[in-house]
Structure formats: structure tokens, C-alpha cells
Amino acid sequence: MAPDGAPHIRIAGLTKTYGDVVAVDGIDLEVRAGEFFTMLGPSGSGKTTTLRMIAGFEIPDSGVIELAGEDVSRLPPYDRPVNTVFQDYALFPHMTVQQNVEYGLMVKKVRKGERRERAEQALGMVQLTGYGARKPAQLSGGQRQRVALARAIVNRPKVLLLDEPLGALDLKLRQEMQIELKSIQREVGITFVYVTHDQEEALTMSDRVAVFNHGRIEQVGPPADVYEHPQSEFIAGFVGVSNVLERDGRRLTVRPEKINLLEDGREPQPGWHVEPGVIRDVQYVGPVTRYHVTLDRGGELQVLAQNLEEGSSQVLEAKGRRTRVEWRPGQESVIDEEGGTE
Amino acid sequence: MVESRLTRALLRLGAGFTLFFIYFPLIVIALYAFNGNVTQRWPIEDWSTKWFPVAFENQGVRDALKHSVMAGLGATAIALVLGTLASTAISRYRFFGREIVTFAVILPIALPGIVTGLALQATIKDVLGPFGVKFGLATIVIGHATFCVVVVYNNVLARLRRTSGSLDEASADLGADNWQTFRYVMFPQMRTALLAGGLLAFALSFDEIIVTIFTSGAIQTLPIWMYATLFRPTELPIVNVVALFVILVSIIPVYFAQKLAGDTGVAGSTAQAAPAATQEDATP
């Protein structure tokens, strides 16, 4: 195992095209050992293709994939020390849960006693003790998802690849599984590479996030960095709400919850950036209210305000009023022009 | 849609007539097997099963039956191997000419049997003949295999399309090589489809006559024997008994094949899954 902090997966110049479509366009990436690393992006952004190349289901046109220092770019899937949790789970329908979980050990000729023991341990980890004799068709979606997870981690892979594993679950179950996945990852210490198009999922679970767009990575960093300081207009919009303004020839973005609406007669806080505008629209969302403010200097901002005391009727009356917005200097991120011209 | 009572009655009548149209002649020939007279006359006057032992003892019938079974088994075996390979390749790989292969495999059922027969005869006699190939059981098997492959191919392909595309990827991902993936995952998935396709292929081969005429040489299969014996009035009752037998041998495999093809092979049924799904919340 690679020492802590050293790259565990190293990807360099990875490219994959299908006919005229460039799915992955020269990606460089390093994932550390034991990290929960998320590849986030809209569909067709190249995140799943990248995952499939790490797994070995696709062979890159060019570029290198190294796992713990070993070049695996051209190895077949069964010779790679990685396992995958598939979006549709891909459980073997003719086998029991126990047989599914033991499969990887069975084909590698691990003896029966050890196989049984490790499979039961893995099923215990996903809280499915006692479900071994069932067939996948007898399980709910959430349970199948857990079996798929157990079937992968029982092999103790160096890297676990997860391809939108929670996509088919309903919201409540998905949120439960997010917490559980994260705790399982801490428990087993395996490097997780997680693909999702759900920005909230990415921000909640990951140690670091890579944001994919058009086959390239636009930004890599801890969730807070990516969210608070998006480096491109695309990221500003995809990871959160696109609040982009043009001021003094620069394009910048501010997160809606960082902006304060100044009440009439109140003095702005010293040194803060202030702009006048008109409240074009108001949406009451329960815990918060979302204001759409058209600024006099051009552009529009969304402002998120916590509903500390207001009721919905008071809040909605604000529509059409003149107002001023203010934010602390440094809360805005300047979007680099290259990324912004997308 | 709500039909008027008249429409419904007409539709029922139409369906009934269609079934009658298909099955009445079969019933007639089946009943003739129980005709005690040597001459055929409708309605049957002398009911008897006396021709059954006679047909059973007939050496010509026995030889023909043996040939038919052997040809059927041979053609089915070839169809199972080639049909499985072709359908696996088609479902798994995207390659140049993929559509053409699909079309080429299916085409033989549309081709007139007489053309297939003539083509096979010319090939065997003129092209392969100089190399010592003679008409016989082997050439019948090859001839039948040309149209048997497609039923296995279609059955297996339909099954593969219904199974999750990532099963073989999951297997490879878990460390299984191509052979292990076939043996433990893909084959169990297609097992019932193979059985269904095999039964259909056997049924097709068992009652085939046109291609057989052109490829059999001196060997008689059951349908050929029937066709040849038809012109000997004294043996007509035996032909009727054999006809009943052939009808049964053809219907039974088709019946089972249809049941098997309907079964997805995917473990359990929705009826089983429903109560289990409600236990999700019981999971700790």
C-alpha cells in the first residue's frame, strides 16, 4: 500500500474518443491512498468513461493509469486490483446473496471456509447479516445496493470504484446510504473513487472533488474550495447557483448565502462591497427565502436569507422594492477568463 | 377500447374460424390413425388401434425414425454451438458488419427451402463430391443446421438483451476470466433459452422435408419415408399412424420451448419479490 498522502492512482494524459466524440480529453489526476475522491459532472462530461477506464472496461486511446505505481492502462479488468459498484448493481440473479458476495473469492480459488467467513463479515458490514440465502429478486433496491457493496469490498481491493451507486434510490434512502458509505469507507480504509452528477452528494461525502466538463477536469479540490471558490463559470453554476457579474472587466461570482440584503436606513458594514438594485422576485422555501435582485450596474444576483422571524406573507411583500446588497470582500471569486468563456 | 357486442361476437367468430381452419385437417389425419379399414373414407366407420403395432414393427419406419432422431440431434447440436457463439458476439461487441451478420443468420428461414436444397445439393455433389463427400446423414445434418441455427440464435439473443448488460463486466471486475464469466454467469443466464432454442431446432429438423430431399441421398428420414410410402395404398394406414406420431413429436417441444422462453431465468418472480421488499425497513 502506498504511504499516506502519496498518489495511489495517477492518471496522466488520459484520452478516449468514440468516433467523432471526445469523451475524455487529456485528463491528469492524482488520488491519494484512503481518500474519498469524487468525480462530479453532468452526463456526458467524461466522468463515467474515466471510471470505466480505471476499472478496465474501456481501453484509453492514449495516456497512463497507474495504481500504486503500477501501469494498469492496458490490463483486462480481472487483472486489476480494483472493484466496482455498478449503477444497476449488476447482481447475478441466479445466485444467492451469499454466492454473489463470495463470487470474487470463488473465482480466485479462495478455500471455502475462508470464503464463507469473509462473505459473512462483509454482509455484516453492510448490515445484511442473515440475508445470505436470498436471491437478489427478493431484496429491495436499498438491500441490493448493499449486496453490491459487500460483493466488492469482500475482495479487499486497493481501490473501490462507485458509478452513481445511489442513483436508483429514493431521496431519504439515498441520504442514509451517503452517511453509511462514508462510515464504511473510514472503516475499511479503501480508496473510494465515486462518480456522481449530484453536487450535494459530492460535497457531503468527498475528501476531494474533481469537477468534469466536456471531457476535461475544470477544478480539483476539497468540497469547500470547489464550492466557495469556483474557478469557472461552469463550476459556479453546476456546483450551486450561478451568480455571475461583470465588474471592471472582470467576471466574478458570489454564493447567494454570502450576500446580505440591507434594510432601509441601515448603514452598510465598513469595507463591504455594496450595490443598489431592485428585488425582481421572491421565493419562500421554508427555512430560507430566495431573492432575485436586479442590480443597477447590470447583472442579477440570487440572495439567500435565513427566515429568522419573517412569515411567508411579509417576505413576499418585498417583491418590487428597491434594496441594497452587500458582501464581505473576498467572498467573491474571480472566474478566470478561459474557463468563463465556455 | 369498447367494442360493440356485434364486433366482439365477430372477432370471436373470426378467431374460432382461424383455429378451426388450422387444426381441423390435423384432427382428420390424427383420427385416420384410428381407422381400421385399409381404405380411407370419411366419416370413419371402423375404429381400431390395430395399425399402431403394425407401424411400430415396420422396419422402414424404425430406420426412418432412427435417421430423423440422429439428424435432429446433430443439427440441434451444431445450432446450439453456432447460435450461442453468434448471439454472444452480436450482443457483446459492436463491430463492423454487425447488422449484416444479424441479417445473414436470420435469412435462411426466409429463403425458399427448395433454393436452399438445390444450393446444398449442388455444393455437396459438385464442389465437395471430388473430395469424397457423399450424401448421407452428415449432409442432412448440415442442411438442417442452416435453418436451425437461427432459432437458437434468436432465443439466446432475446435472453441476452433482457439480462443486465453489466453482468459480464461485474464478473470480470470481480476477477473472473472470460471462461469463468461464461461458465458461472453467462451460461446460467442463457440456459433455459438454449433449451428452448434446442427444442425448437429439433422440432424444425424432425419434420423438415424439402431440404432433406436434396441432401439425404438414399437415406430416409421419417417425413421422406411418409412421402415415399404415400403412393402405396396398402401402407397408407401406417403413414397415418406415423403422421400422428410426428404431430406429437413436433407439438411437445414447441410447447415446452414456449414455456421456457417466457421464463426469464432471472431468479425468483415478482410475486416473491413483493413481500420481501416490504421488509426493507426491518433492516437494522
A77, B188: Cβ pair inside 8 Å?
no
B261 or A76, which is more confident? A76
* pLDDT for the residue numbered A221: 95
What was the pLDDT predicted at A339? 43
Q: Answer yes or no: do A103 and B283 touch at CB < 8 A.
A: no
**pLDDT score recorded for residue B2:** 63
In angstroms, what CA-CA distances link A116 with A99, A110, A111, A112, A172?
9, 10, 9, 6, 32
* For testing contact with chain A, the best of B166, B173, B185, B283 (most A CBs within 10 A): B173
Q: Which of A79-93, A152-166, A300-314 has the lowest mean pLDDT?
A: A300-314
For the segment A82-104, the average pLDDT, to the nearest whole number, is 94
Q: How wide is the angle at C-alpha A43 spanned by C-alphas A251 and A200, nearest 5°?
A: 65
CATH of the domain at B61: 1.10.3720.10
Lowest average pLDDT, out of B13-27, B52-66, B195-209, B250-264, goes to: B250-264
Q: Given pLDDT bands bounded at 50, 70 and 90, which one contains residue A197? A: very high
Q: How many domains does chain B have?
A: 1
**Hey, are the CB atoms on A142 and B283 less than 8 Å from each other?**
yes
Query: Residue A323 in contact with residue A262, Cβ under 8 Å?
Result: yes
**Which residue's C-alpha cell is 439473443?**
B157
On whether the A242-340 domain is CATH 2.40.50.140, my answer is: yes
Q: Return d(Cα A293, Cα A261) in angstroms, integer.
A: 10
Tens of pLDDT, residues A248-288 = 888 889 999 999 988 777 888 888 999 999 999 998 888 88
**∠A286-A290-A294 over CA atoms, to 5°?**
165
Omega within 30 of 0 (cis) for the link into A268: no
Instruction: Give A211's pLDDT tier (boundaries 50, 70, 90).
Output: very high
- Strands of the sheet containing A273-284, edge to edge, are A260-262, A322-327, A273-284, A288-295, A300-306
pLDDT of residue B74: 94
What digits encode the pLDDT tens for the residues B45-66? 788 888 888 888 888 888 888 9
Give the model's pLDDT for residue A202: 92
Residues sharing a CB contact under 8 Å with residue A219, sequence separation 6 or more, in sequence order: A210, A211, A226, A230, A231, A232, A235
B257 in a structural domain: no
Residue A145 pLDDT exceeds 80: yes
Residue A158 has pLDDT above 60, yes or no: yes
Residue pair A159/A54 in contact by the 8 Å Cβ criterion: yes
Average pLDDT, chain A: 89
Range(s) of the domain holding residue B142: 24-243
Per the CB < 8 A criterion, the answer to whether A160 and A153 are in contact is: yes
Rounded to the nearest angstrom, the minimum Cα separation between B177 and chain A is: 6
C-beta neighbour count of A336 within 10 angstroms = 13
Test A90 with B166 for CB contact under 8 angstroms.
yes
pLDDT score at B231: 84
Contacts of A86 in chain B (CB under 8 A): 166, 169-170
Grid cell for residue A233: 463559470
Q: Is A156 on the interface with B (CB under 8 A)?
A: no
Task: Give SS3 for B272.
Answer: helix
**How many angstroms separate the CA of residue B264 from the nearest CA in chain A?**
10
pLDDT, mean over chain B = 81
What b/e string do you get for B89-126 counting C-beta neighbours within 10 Å, with b at 16 or more?
ebbeeeeeeeeeeeeebeebbeeebeebbeebbeebbe
Question: Which pLDDT score is estimated for A336?
Answer: 65
Q: How far is B174 from chain A, CA to nearest CA, in Å?
A: 5
The verdict on a CB contact (< 8 Å) between B184 and A143 is: no
pLDDT tens-digit series, residues B106-151 = 887 788 888 888 888 888 888 887 887 788 888 889 889 988 998 8
Rounded to an integer, what distance in angstroms lies between the CA atom of residue B271 and that of residue B273?
Answer: 6
pLDDT at residue B277 in the model: 33
Residue linked to cell 455484516: A124
pLDDT, residue A131, reads 93
Please choose, from the candidates B266, B248, B238, the residue with its C-alpha nearest in 3D space to the C-alpha of residue B62. Answer: B238
* DSSP string covering A274-325: EEEEEEEEEEE-SSEEEEEEEETTS-EEEEEEE-SS--HHHHHHTTT-EEEE
Closest CA to A306 of A292, A291, A319, A289: A289
List Cα–Cα distances, A182 to A35, A198, B122, B194, in angstroms.
Answer: 11, 16, 70, 44
Domain chopping of chain A, boundaries:
7-233, 242-340
Q: Model confidence over B218-240: pLDDT tens digits? A: 888 888 888 888 888 778 888 88
Per residue in B3-43, pLDDT (tens digit) is 688 888 899 999 999 989 888 888 888 888 888 877 777 77
Q: Is residue B218 part of a domain?
A: yes
Does residue B258 lie in a domain region? Answer: no
Of A296 and B130, the structure prediction assigns the larger pLDDT to: A296
Q: Do A307 and A286 contact (CB within 8 A), yes or no? A: yes
Average pLDDT in the A21-27 region? 93
Distance from the first to the final alpha carbon of chain B: 48
In which band, very low, low, confident or very high, does the pLDDT at A6 lie, cut at 50, 70 and 90?
low
Q: Does residue A140 sit at the B interface (CB-CB below 8 Å)?
A: yes
Is residue A54 over pLDDT 50?
Answer: yes
Statement: residue B267 has pLDDT above 60: no
The reply to whether B19 falls in a domain is no
**Residue of chain A whose alpha carbon sits nearest to that of B274:** A138
CA atoms within 13 Å, Cβ hemisphere of A309: 0
- Residue-level pLDDT at B175: 93
Smallest Cα distance from B190 to chain A, Å: 11
Which chain A residues are Cβ-neighbours of B280 within 8 angstroms? Answer: 140, 142-143
- Residue B210 within a domain: yes
> Could A127 and B184 be called an inter-chain contact, meaning their C-beta atoms sit closer than 8 Å?
no
Averaged pLDDT, B194-214: 88
CA atoms within 13 Å, Cβ hemisphere of B271: 0
pLDDT at residue B275, rounded to an integer: 33
List A21's β-bridge partners, or say none: A18
Distance CA B139, CA B134 (A): 8
Give me the architecture of the A7-233 domain, per CATH: 3-Layer(aba) Sandwich (3.40)
Q: Is the pLDDT of residue B280 over 50?
A: no
Q: To the nearest whole angstrom, how far is the Cα of B176 from the nearest Cα of chain A?
A: 6
What was the pLDDT predicted at A110?
Answer: 92
Residue B268, in any domain of the structure: no
- CB pair distance less than 8 Å for A107 and B280: no
Closest chain B residue to the Cα of A18, Cα to Cα: B94
Mutual angle of helices B187-206 and B59-92, in 10-degree steps:
140
Q: How far is CA A126 from the centre of its chain?
A: 22
The closest alpha carbon to A334, from A219, A225, A233, A251, belongs to: A251
Contact A151 B272 (CB under 8 A): no
CB contacts of A152 in chain B (<8 Å) are 174
**A128 shares contact with chain B (CB less than 8 Å):** yes
Does B126 fall in a domain? yes
pLDDT reading at A325 higher than 70: yes
In a domain, B125, yes or no: yes
Which chain A residues are within 8 Å of B185, Cβ to Cβ? 92
Q: Is A18 on the interface with B (CB under 8 A)?
A: no
Give the rounded percent of residues in chain B with a pLDDT score beyond 90: 15
Phi-psi region of A90 (alpha: psi -120 to 50; beta: other; left: phi over 0): left
| Cα radius of gyration (chain B) | 24
How many CB atoms are closer than 10 A to CB B24? 9
Of residues A56, A82, A94, nearest to B189 (C-beta): A94
